[in-house]
Amino acid sequence: MHDVHDFEDVKIPIGPQHPALKEPESFLISLRGEKITASSVRLGYNHRGIEKACEERTYTQGLYLIERICGICSHSHSTCFVQAVEEIAGIEITARAKYLRTLIGELERIHSHLLWLGVAGHEIGFDTLLMYTWRDREVVMDLLATLTGNRVNYGINTVGGVRRDISHKQKEEVLKAIDILEERTKYYIDLAKGETTLIKRLQGVGVLSHEDAEKLDAVGPTARASGIERDVRKDDPYAAYGELDFKVISVNSCDVYGRTLVRLGELMESFSLVRQVIRKIPDGSILVKSARKVPAGEAVSRYEAPRGEDLHYVRANGTEKPDRVKVRAPTLANIQSVSKMLEDRYLADMPIVIAAIDPCFSCTDRLVAVRDTKNKGSNTVVWETIRLQGIEWYKNKGIDFTSLNEKLTKLS
């Protein structure tokens, strides 16, 4: 019998397009038997040139573009950006506007965490959980649509405040929906704490030690599941968080199970935050008038997005367009921990380990529309060409299936 160590490492490419991945990213995995010995990640497939585009747009135009960095945490990006602009311009927004931004931010966190729970369920073959959580997620999506007019990309922020007020009737709707969601979340918590299959599948998987999480600067639930009690809402309060009461949820299990518990705990905190906002929201105007031109200056803004710390740097030059906008989305900070989590793990754990950081590569890559300028006239690419290109691409990476294909042909 052969021992697994008798075999050489096998290299397997996973991505950029792969059924186990929800967005394009490319992993190259070295395997010995079923165990991963090394891995590397290649990102950039979603680079759309947003930072450059922002330099050619006014602050308000940029705000709408920034919101479209990501379809899940769009409010996170737009708030983070607008906070930086307001800081440079010296605009102090009204208390009511701050509370409304907080409200949408927390509702967004609820929809994002429920979405994650569903994806996590799907990755471990627990599709019932996906169906349940995504059904419940509709409650909060509908709520967001009622409050802002959109299910995603809410467009609620503007320089100097928010664009829509909340009515008394809407407040009641929010409270009613939160009651429903809280009850369902309690059920998911019971399930996560009692369902043996789920616990066994997630415990000890994708381990990221406290030290590694600190060293690699992990953020958000990924960091908090490794015992790092860090949350921008608490550490560097923005919007109305300084006046609200909430706990930072953290656990020390350092695995995917811990990341699940952290997100479930955060859902409960979010429900409490939403209720506080509805109870405490002060009366007043929602918008402060501001000039189109922003004086020269710079600011760094931080925001606790559902996936972790989002950071925007804005430099203004006194015109109505920014000189530089830099976006560092949470996934970029967390993706560096993934290789660590995969080390010496089984290949079958890979999908859930990657999903556990709740990756969002649209956010991460931000940036260039590709136009085929080499073949003027005809731009039609047939499927076969794409297939051959793919084979060629992998060959250049040292992965060649020619001999394997020949063997297969002989067999058939």
Interacting residue with other proteins among 216, 225, 239, 342 (CB under 8 A): 216
How far apart CA 78 and CA 31 sit, in angstroms, is: 41
Site string for other proteins, 87-116 (x = CB under 8 A): x-----------------------------
What the block records as the tokens of 125 is 């073959």
Least CB distance to other proteins at residue 73 (A): 17
Nearer to other proteins, 5 or 374 (CB): 374
How far apart CA 181 and CA 198 sit, in angstroms, is: 21
Q: State in Å, rounded, how far the first CA of the chain is from the last one.
A: 28
Interacting residue with other proteins among 268, 313, 346, 391 (CB under 8 A): 313
Is residue 374 at the binding interface for other proteins, with CB under 8 A as the rule?
yes
Is residue 215 at the binding interface for other proteins, with CB under 8 A as the rule?
yes
How far apart CA 373 and CA 359 sit, in angstroms, is: 32
CB 63 within 8 A of CB 35: no
CB 181 within 8 A of CB 113: no
Helix (H) or strand (E) holding 10: strand 10-14
Helix (H) or strand (E) holding 265: helix 256-280
Q: Name residue 204's amino acid.
A: G
Nearer to other proteins, 235 or 344 (CB): 235
Interacting residue with other proteins among 65, 85, 333, 350 (CB under 8 A): 333
Binding window for other proteins (CB under 8 A); candidates: 120-128, 158-166, 188-196, 225-233: 225-233
Report how far Cα 292 is from the mean position of its chain's Cα atoms. 31
Is residue 243 at the binding interface for other proteins, with CB under 8 A as the rule?
no
Name the residue among 116, 93, 74 with its Cα closest to residue 356.
116
Is residue 236 at the binding interface for other proteins, with CB under 8 A as the rule?
yes
Site string for other proteins, 36-65 (x = CB under 8 A): ----xxxxx--x-x-xx-------------
Site string for other proteins, 293-312 (x = CB under 8 A): -----xxx-x------x-x-
Assign 140 to helix, strand or coil. helix
Least CB distance to other proteins at residue 396 (A): 8
Query: 32 - beta bridge partners?
Result: 35
How far apart CA 156 and CA 27 sit, in angstroms, is: 37
Assign 315 to helix, strand or coil. strand
Interacting residue with other proteins among 80, 332, 357, 360 (CB under 8 A): 332
Interacting residue with other proteins among 142, 235, 344, 406 (CB under 8 A): 235
Using CB under 8 A, list all residues that contact other proteins. Answer: 40-44, 47, 49, 51-52, 87, 214-217, 230-232, 235-236, 298-300, 302, 309, 311, 313, 315, 323-324, 326, 328, 332-333, 335-336, 365-368, 371, 373-374, 376
